[in-house]
Chains A and B, each alone.
Chain A
Amino acid sequence: MSRGLRKFSVETIAVLASVVIFWVPLYFVLLTAMKSAPEASEMNLAWPSKIQLWQNIKNVVAFRDHMLLRAFWNSSALTILSLAAMVVVCSMAAFVMQRRNDKATPWISFFVLAGLIIPPAIVPTIWVLNEIHLFKTLIGLVLVEVALGFPFSVMLYRGFMAAIPREIDEAAVVDGYGGYRLFFTIIFPLLQPVTATIIVTQAVFIFNDFTNPLYFFPGAKNATVQLTLYNFTSQFVSQWNLLFTDILLITLPPLLLFVFFNKKIVAGMTTGSVKG
């Protein structure tokens, strides 16, 4: 076989494999979400006799007193608040950790990096949140997300900040700038590329997070979108179509983000995972 032909067939096989491995499951979700309950329970790839996607969406949204809408609201609020706090808090911390160089710095780095390895102690965290009256509140959950995203974000910020010359700081000091003015008017705007990366990647993680809301944000009123999916599994045993409509709806936001920020997300994931 000639080189060109062999290359062509390898590519064809790869594309076909990608269709089977990645598109079929997605197609299956979409198809099931369009079906009626009896047809959905057959679990096959047959085209629905009648497309009732819109009807399913209306049903799943109306279910349990519009719980899904509240969940979308909670999840969006959680994601936005966590990101806002994370960006400010982590960039400030990274600034000092990267610029300063004294006896304490290695220790601080050690504690922060330990956060990447240590599994969070769950019940004691509930206890602490309870003591400060933030258990079962959105703010409490935001604090948890910020704390858990802190090591990763600081790592990204520090790596990027190392490339910003200290001469800038010196020039600003000569001009009479203080630390805060230097950071907020000069350094922070320069960090914009990493900030964007952190926002996009962490948005996906927080929006998709299941474990933390499960532990720290219990109660029907508090549900996030991932929790509705989990709660619906027990209630929709005979209505797979609605369960899959829910899957479709809550997958949409990350999907859109992915379509628009594909490159950014990938860049962020790699720089974050390979230590710089």
Chain B
Amino acid sequence: MSKVFKRIYTYNFLLPAAIVYTVVFIVPTVMSFFFSLTRWTLFDWTFIGLDNFKTFFQEPSLSIGFKNTLIYAAVTCAAKVVGGLLLGVFLTSKIRTKDYLRSVVFFPVLVSTIAVGIAFSMMMHPTTGLFNTALAHLGIEGPDWLGDTKLALLSVAAVDVWKGIGLATVIYIAGILAIPEEYSEALQIDGGSSWHKFWNITVPLSRPATNAVIILSFIGGLRSFDLIWAMTRGGPGFATDVIASIIYKQYQGGFYGLATAGNVILFLFVTAIVYPLSRYLTRNEVDL
């Protein structure tokens, strides 16, 4: 690059972004490694080594959070991949109502998560809620969706899927529309069925979309906080506590060092899973 262009494309353009990003994102991230080793009141800290991490791993309520975070991320991610792919295929087929259906599926993405959480927790009320009244009409006694310790996490995950599947679907629609027509024409000449088309053309060739959906929803799932907090606040007991909700509880309790240790754990957890995952996924991507 010539000197002139070095001057034209000056790093000064980067300066405002760099300052904001460094001050409120990078510096706190780096500092979190230090503060996670302290007992901390925001104004004053005592260095206590790895005690926060020990506390985190020893208390059963805190380690439940790990398991829940993983389950929640895996379940929502799997449902969004499968559901998004099927909806994507359906909404790119020749149906007349596709514009309407696309809008309807996408709309929940834009609604406030807290609003969705509150509305669904009311619909999931064990006796008077909409779900169980509907089931009662069919002669089925519905479960206590959010009060049952075995079910609560999955109920919240289901609402997460309801809210988020529109994004996965839209990504798949874009991915499927990018597949050249020739492939399915060739398949038609060879007499392949629509099942063959789905399995041998659509699925492998929408791999970039699948990768995007997996990465996005997995990161989202591992970090998720607001929906869980709006619906159950981690309860009943610790049945729906995830790392992010534990961080908030420790923060509320004034245990800033412990909350930050939770943050560091979440950071390591997300990076340890997402980095190799994305490397693996992109390596196996098929070129169109």
Q: What is A's interface to B at a CB cutoff of 8 Å?
A: 7, 10-11, 14-15, 18, 21-25, 28-29, 32, 41-45, 85, 88-90, 92-93, 95-97, 99-102, 108, 111-112, 115-130, 132, 143-144, 146-148, 150, 154, 169, 173, 178-179, 182-183, 204, 207-208, 210-211, 214-215, 225-226, 229-230, 233, 240, 243-244, 247, 250-251, 254-255, 257-258, 262, 265-266, 269-270, 273-275
Contact B263 A121 (CB under 8 A): yes
Closest residue of chain A to B12 (Cβ to Cβ) is A179
User: Given the known A-B contacts A128-B23, A265-B110, are A89 and B16 also in contact in the complex, defined by CB atoms under 8 Å?
Assistant: yes
Closest residue of chain A to B263 (Cβ to Cβ) is A121
Provide the residues of chain A in CB contact with B111, threshold 8 Å.
208, 251, 254-255
The answer, among A15, A146, A226, A233, for a CB contact under 8 Å with B20, is A146
Contact A22 B29 (CB under 8 A): no
User: Given the known A-B contacts A121-B260, A128-B31, are A262 and B103 also in contact in the complex, defined by CB atoms under 8 Å?
Assistant: yes
Q: What is the bound-complex CA distance between A126 and B35, given in angstroms?
A: 12
Stretch from B143-151, B196-204, B264-272 that touches the partner = B264-272
Contact B25 A179 (CB under 8 A): no
Contact A124 B31 (CB under 8 A): yes
- Find the residue from B213, B263, B264 having the highest chain A CB count within 10 A: B263
Question: How far apart are A271's CB and chain B's nearest CB, in angstroms?
Answer: 8
Contact B27 A128 (CB under 8 A): yes
Stretch from B53-61, B116-124, B184-192 that touches the partner = B116-124
The answer, among B107, B174, B208, B251, for a CB contact under 8 Å with A22, is B107
Q: Is B219 an interface position by the 8 A CB rule?
A: yes
Q: What is the bound-complex CA distance between A274 and B177, given in angstroms?
A: 13
Contact B267 A121 (CB under 8 A): yes
Q: Is B216 an interface position by the 8 A CB rule?
A: yes
Question: How far apart are A169's CB and chain B's nearest CB, in angstroms?
Answer: 7
CB 8 Å contact bits of B97-123 with A (1 = contact, 0 = none):
100111111111111111100111011
Say what secondary structure dominates the interface of chain B.
helix
Contact A44 B112 (CB under 8 A): no
Q: What is the bound-complex CA distance between A31 and B226, given in angstroms?
A: 25
Contact B118 A210 (CB under 8 A): no
Contact A258 B107 (CB under 8 A): yes
A-B CB pair tally, cutoff 8 Å: 251
Contact B112 A208 (CB under 8 A): yes
Within 8 A of A (CB), among B150-190: 162, 167, 170-171, 173-175
Within 8 A of A (CB), among B233-265: 244, 247-248, 251, 256, 259-260, 263-264
18 interchain pairs, CB-CB under 8 A? A29-B115, A43-B123, A99-B9, A111-B21, A116-B219, A118-B267, A120-B29, A123-B259, A125-B28, A127-B31, A143-B20, A147-B23, A173-B5, A208-B110, A208-B112, A210-B226, A273-B171, A274-B209
Apart from A15-B100, A255-B110, 5 more pairs, CB < 8 Å: A29-B119, A93-B18, A95-B13, A125-B24, A127-B42
Interface size on B, residues (CB 8 A): 92
The answer, among A15, A21, A93, A230, for a CB contact under 8 Å with B14, is A93
CB 8 Å contact bits of B1-26 with A (1 = contact, 0 = none):
10011111111111011101101111
The answer, among A89, A243, A254, A255, for a CB contact under 8 Å with B118, is A243
Provide the residues of chain B in CB contact with A89, threshold 8 Å.
16-17, 20
Q: What is the bound-complex CA distance between A100 and B1, given in angstroms?
A: 8
Question: How far apart are A175's CB and chain B's nearest CB, in angstroms?
Answer: 12
Contact A90 B17 (CB under 8 A): yes
Q: What is the bound-complex CA distance between A100 and B9, given in angstroms?
A: 6
Question: How far apart are B35's CB and chain A's nearest CB, in angstroms?
Answer: 6
Contact A254 B110 (CB under 8 A): yes
Question: How far apart are B17's CB and chain A's nearest CB, in angstroms?
Answer: 4
Contact A257 B110 (CB under 8 A): yes
Provide the residues of chain A in CB contact with B219, threshold 8 Å.
116-117
Q: What is the bound-complex CA distance between A102 and B2, given in angstroms?
A: 11
Contact B21 A115 (CB under 8 A): yes
Provide the residues of chain B in CB contact with A93, threshold 8 Å.
13-14, 16-18
Contact B119 A25 (CB under 8 A): yes
Closest residue of chain B to A266 (Cβ to Cβ) is B170
Contact A226 B114 (CB under 8 A): yes
Provide the residues of chain B in CB contact with A22, threshold 8 Å.
104-105, 107-108
User: Given the known A-B contacts A250-B112, A270-B170, are A179 and B9 also in contact in the complex, defined by CB atoms under 8 Å?
Assistant: yes
Contact B1 A101 (CB under 8 A): yes
